[in-house]
């Protein structure tokens, strides 16, 4: 940890040294590059680095080329979903000032799940793209309902927002349980989706969620400076000419869009949105511009490494990434938590 002079609370974000920052950025990029490489190298068929490089240079054995190419969609999807989830978590933890905030808290997961369950049970929905196209509006709608109800009457009622999210999630979960218990076939397919997986998805899934996730990521990165101002406290921010309520709303909207896009594409993977922002904060401090940038770099690394582990532990079978993420990410979060104690 950089030793910085302790400033009074609200006096602005602490700044780690420039050298340290450059080092962290380099580390994050190297980690991401390693994650990308691992994701195209490892699968149920063992392939060597040499063979993968041959494929990347366009000189691979035709079958190995097909195998390596089949790993591309899940890799780009891992990057997009990992960045979206981590950035969404960072936005939510910042806006709600709740260290446990993650995208699922806004009712996004429950909304997507309920939509899928209804479509499967009553409309005979099946297939990857159909699932995505049903999950997306469900997630967005739930997020917007939570936001509308939770912030009604203005003010900075973040407690109400969190409670509304919890209530909606509880109601939808009960509904999902009722439907899936009465229709075992629905339970089977829902149970599969709800774990969260990068596998078996094609580029079409990626392209479908890219506009939404891309817009959310750009919006989030642009919000960094404004969120720094809001972090000073509503009164100070207002005194500086900012509009805290509007900035918070924009942050939550971006988080909802990001969470919905990622959840619809790969299923609910809670741990990335929760853990990555904490790790990043320990590393780069509280400046939101840095936090959001590093979340967008570390999120994909965590998700991709978890996915690679999932492909290897039961080879040739696969463990879904939703199961693995917590195992892979927990040590990093624990280290971050220990550091926090000394820092806070």
Residues of this chain that interact with other proteins (CB under 8 A) are: 43-45, 63, 66-67, 69-70, 126-128, 130, 184-185, 188-189, 191-192, 199-202, 315-318
Q: Are 213 and 260 in contact (CB under 8 A)?
A: no
Whole-angstrom Cα distance, residue 236 to residue 313? 52
Nearer to other proteins, 66 or 343 (CB): 66
Q: Residue 219: left (phi > 0), alpha (psi -120 to 50), or beta?
A: alpha
Contacting residues for 61 by C-beta, under 8 A, at least 6 apart:
51, 54
- CA–chain centroid gap for 33, Å, is 19
Nearer to other proteins, 91 or 319 (CB): 319
Whole-angstrom Cα distance, residue 305 to residue 326? 11
Whole-angstrom Cα distance, residue 221 to residue 264? 22
Min dist CB 314 to other proteins, Å, is 9
CB neighbours (10 Å) of residue 87?
32
Alpha helices (runs of H) in 153-243, residue ranges in sequence order: 158-182, 184-195, 203-230, 234-239
Min dist CB 318 to other proteins, Å, is 7
Min dist CB 49 to other proteins, Å, is 16
Nearer to other proteins, 159 or 185 (CB): 185
Angle at 13 between CA 8 and CA 19, to 5 degrees: 120
Q: Are 82 and 272 in contact (CB under 8 A)?
A: yes
Min dist CB 130 to other proteins, Å, is 7
Whole-angstrom Cα distance, residue 286 to residue 220? 15
| Residue whose structure tokens are 């994909």 | 300
Min dist CB 274 to other proteins, Å, is 27
Q: Are 73 and 201 in contact (CB under 8 A)?
A: yes
Nearer to other proteins, 148 or 178 (CB): 178
Nearer to other proteins, 70 or 208 (CB): 70
Min dist CB 207 to other proteins, Å, is 15
Comparing CA positions, the residue from 225, 220, 245 lying closest to residue 156 is 245
Nearer to other proteins, 67 or 283 (CB): 67
Nearer to other proteins, 11 or 185 (CB): 185
Nearer to other proteins, 163 or 312 (CB): 312
Min dist CB 268 to other proteins, Å, is 17
Min dist CB 86 to other proteins, Å, is 25
Task: Enter the tokens of residue 274.
Answer: 């929760």
């Amino acid at each position: 940890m950089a030793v910085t002079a302790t400033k009074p609370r609200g006096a602005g974000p602490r700044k780690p040294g420039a050298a340290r920052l450059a080092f962290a950025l380099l580390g994050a990029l190297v980690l991401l590059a390693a994650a990308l490489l691992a994701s195209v190298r490892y699968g149920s068929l063992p392939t060597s680095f040499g063979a993968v490089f041959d494929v990347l240079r366009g000189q691979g054995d035709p079958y190995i080329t097909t195998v390596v190419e089949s790993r591309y969609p899940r890799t780009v999807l891992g990057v997009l979903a990992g960045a979206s989830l981590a950035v969404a978590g960072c936005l939510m933890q910042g806006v709600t000032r709740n260290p446990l905030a993650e995208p699922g808290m806004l009712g996004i997961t429950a909304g997507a799940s309920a939509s899928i369950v209804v479509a499967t049970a009553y409309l005979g929905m099946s297939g990857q793209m159909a699932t995505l196209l049903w999950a997306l509006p469900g997630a967005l709608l739930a997020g917007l309902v939570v936001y509308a109800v939770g912030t009604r009457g203005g003010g900075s009622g973040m407690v109400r927002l969190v409670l509304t999210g919890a209530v909606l999630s509880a109601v939808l979960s009960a509904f999902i349980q009722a439907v899936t218990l009465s229709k075992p076939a629905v339970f089977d397919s829902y149970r599969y989706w709800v774990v969260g997986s990068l596998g078996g998805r094609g580029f079409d899934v990626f392209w479908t969620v890219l506009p939404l996730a891309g817009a959310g990521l750009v919006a989030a990165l642009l919000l960094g400076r404004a969120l720094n101002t809001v972090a000073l406290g509503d009164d100070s921010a207002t005194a500086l000419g900012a509009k805290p309520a509007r900035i918070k709303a924009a942050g939550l909207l971006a988080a909802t869009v990001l969470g919905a896009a990622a959840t619809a594409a790969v299923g609910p993977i809670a741990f990335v949105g929760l853990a990555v922002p904490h790790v990043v904060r320990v590393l780069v401090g509280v400046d939101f511009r840095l936090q959001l940038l590093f979340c967008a770099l570390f999120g994909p690394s965590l998700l991709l490494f978890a996915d690679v582990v999932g492909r290897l532990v039961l080879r040739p079978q696969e463990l879904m990434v939703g199961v693995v993420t917590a195992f892979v990410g927990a040590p990093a979060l624990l280290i971050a938590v220990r550091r926090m104690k000394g820092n806070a």
